[in-house]
Structure 1
């Protein structure tokens, strides 16, 4: 948990500060033409996303789940309703008008819809006391919460793969961004499924 929490803290320390001033000029994402509210949707996504990524770190902490189940449930509600769901809706909205082209925009929308669907499925499962299914859906929701962070981490690899094939700088940035987004989504989905499949099944009496 400690290394993961440290990585998340570094990511937030780098990503969030430019938006604390609410100055559109400091935005790292250019506003697409014809959508003047883009910046405010982006700020909302970052705000809700910050709540989601901090909340999900607490949710996957085994000690907190075992020792403080009430806190786990309360943080879970915050994660779902003040974090993942609104952040995913905002991400789908700004992804649909992405200034980085239709491919990146489509990937953003797909990741947002997966995040939204996994989170809602996990919430419904726990409301119906289907604990095993709740765990599975929430692990997938956790994976999508980490999508942006993973995409940033994979960007250097994407640049190294694309650089020998692309000479134009703007095309290089776009191609590397597209590749890192694809690698992020696929790797997270595959790793989360691998994690679920590798866990040994406990006997029914233990469950």
Structure 2
């Protein structure tokens, strides 16, 4: 006799690998901690003269919104590390859900919305303006997609979209590195390519950073997602199976 059961779908397979077998976790946490320790303190003084972004003249709203953007972005960076940490996700399901909500509602959503305003009013030129607007909009879109997939219990798709959201969250770190490299490369061309304008050269270097960094990290993320071998139970094992008896 054969009959079907109404057994609900199984939970996503648990990760059993110890944290030290994920060699990228500790370096990632150290990079994030170092970046936040370097970038955030000047904004905690609420002194516009210490801002690394020049506020537009006559716009008194820009700086306080920039400070809020930095603080919400810091929350996103800190909680993102726990979202992609497999051992934490597997062993602390409730903690994963809590940090996920903080990441979305206390980090990405407010930081991304403020980023649209900050990006529109940037003094670094039209290329940086467009890059900031596109980056903020894309950051919001992929994070909302990840949230929707989680609420629909489509965990495989949720992790893919969350990986992309994480890539965009961390692109600010890579953009700082690219910006420095681009500045070093372009500096000898100030008198030729940029007509003697060091400001134009710096705007161009910043443009390279804000365009190239998210693009590289998104491409790397999708490449890793494509090459990752299915782990644990296959999709078919997560569906109700007929029982025999």
* In the alignment, structure 1 residue 6 sits paired with structure 2 residue 35: no
- In the alignment, the residues of structure 2 paired with residue 178 and residue 108 of structure 1 have an alpha-carbon distance, to the nearest angstrom, of 9
Alpha-carbon separation, structure 2, partners of 1:158 and 1:58 = 32
The answer to whether structure 1 residue 201 and structure 2 residue 230 are counterparts is yes
Q: TM-score, normalised by structure 1?
A: 0.95
TM-score of the aligned structures, taking structure 2 as reference length: 0.81
Instruction: Give the structure 1 partner of residue 204 of structure 2.
Output: 175
Tell me how far apart the structure 1 counterparts of residues 81 and 176 of structure 2 sit (CA, whole Å). Answer: 18
Residue by residue over 1:35-67, the C-alpha shift from the partner in whole angstroms, topping out at 9 and shown as x without a partner, is 210001100101100100000011111110111
Task: Write out aligned runs for 1:28-177 (5 A).
Answer: 28-167=52-191, 168-177=197-206
- Structure whose CA Rg is larger: 2
1:27 aligns with 2:58: no
DSSP 3-state at the match of 1:200: coil
Tell me, in whole angstroms, the C-alpha distance in 1 between the residues paired with 2:43 and 2:69.
11
Distance 1:29 1:46 in 2: 11
**1:22 Cα deviation (Å)?**
1.2
Name the counterpart of 2:215.
186
Give the paired residue count: 207
Superimposed CA distance per residue, residues 143-171 of structure 1 (whole angstroms, 9 cap, x where no aligned partner): 11012111012223212332343333212
Determine the C-alpha separation between the residues in 2 that align with 1:163 and 1:26.
24
The Cα shift of 1:7 comes to 0.7
- Unaligned 5+ segments in structure 1 are none
- The farther-off stretch of 175-184 and 45-54 is 175-184
Listed one character per residue, the Cα deviations across residues 65-89 of structure 1 (whole Å, up to 9, x for unaligned) are 1111110011100000000110011
Residue 235 of structure 2 aligns to a residue whose secondary structure is coil
Shift of 1:93: 0.9
Distance 1:204 1:117 in 2: 26
Structure with the larger RCO, 1 or 2 (CA within 8 Å, 6+ apart): 2
Segments of structure 2 that go 5 or more residues without pairing to the other structure are 1-24, 192-196, 239-245
More helix as a share of residues: 1
Q: Distance in 1 between matches of 2:181 and 2:205?
A: 9
